[in-house]
Amino acid sequence: MRAFVFPGQGAQAIGMGKALADAYPAAKAVFDEVDEALGEDLSGLIWGGELDALTLTANAQPALMATSMAVMRALEAEGVTVDAASYVAGHSLGEYSALAAAGAFTVADAARLLRARGIAMQEAVPVGIGAMAAILGLDFAAVKDVAEEAAQGEVCQAANDNDPAQVVVSGHKAAVERAVEIAKAKGAKRALLLPVSAPFHCSLMQPAADAMALALDAVEIAQPKVPVVSNVLAEAVSDPAMIRRLLVEQVTGSVRWRESVMYMGAQGVTEVYEIGAGKALSGMVKRIDRGINAVAVSTPEDVVAAVAAIKA
């Protein structure tokens, strides 16, 4: 069994998807569709802009989805469709890419939702008030304890359970800074603040969750062709009403990536293809379950190799 997984924020790079768009008309059409949906030349920013501008949450989220969907369309052009996978899953914003790949959203709706999500997440907390930090070398339970100790009346929560040795905390800046020091004292290999513009996946994001509830209410969600492993539940869902509710909860909830991969492994998944920019998820998958072979697919050459392996 195999799964297709879709990356989240942090994977963005100038030039991502360009070679695919040049090689596959169907991939180019994705970027055109996103530009049209947003009423701007996002593809111009992705392929020739400044990384600082691309990294802005409101740009990075639709840009990463567009790149993932371009890879998906290239695979389809070579004869591999989403139902070659038993599950799809995505890391944070990647869940929207997974849903678009599975046909639950149109690409245009996914682009507009992610633009709204990016703006709402940025506006939920004034710049400088919140922070996020990566804690390496402590497991999720240990980091949860660290976050609770660090909170001291402020918000500090374990936000991303990425793999057995990497957990991200999120919340008020002072509380997150305390968590970094507490984690180091408790034996973390490394603990460092992340270069993010807002404290994602914690209760400070409630205004963004409220905004996404409204945005999602205005969009039709179809039943996905392949079950989607939800960040919030770390198990598969297919019901459109439940998907809608979970996408709202996802804004303030923890990204349960480690458990999501363990869930897919327990269902019999032995191959994972990371669809889109970067290789971060492939690395996490290998650290979570050594029985799963994980491959990143982002270039025309990767597409050809993946198609050969899937069809073999």
Instruction: Give the residue numbers annotated as catalytic, written as ranges.
Output: 92, 201
Q: Which of 201, 212, 121, 207 is nearest to 161 (CA)?
A: 201
Query: What is the Cα 259 distance to its own chain's centre?
Result: 15
Structure tokens at 173: 């800046």
Q: Let me know: does 3 contact 85? Beta carbons within 8 Å.
A: yes
Number of Cβ atoms within 10 Å of the Cβ of 22: 11
Spatial neighbors of 299 by CB under 8 A, at least 6 apart, are 19, 20
CA distance 227 to 133: 31
Residue 240, classed as helix, strand or coil, is helix
- Phi, psi at 190, each rounded to 5°: -145, 150
Q: Where are the alpha helices (DSSP H) in 127-236?
A: 140-151, 173-185, 206-217
Task: Calculate the CA dihedral of residues 37, 40, 46, 47 and round it to 10 degrees.
Answer: 120
Sign of CA dihedral 146, 149, 154, 155: positive
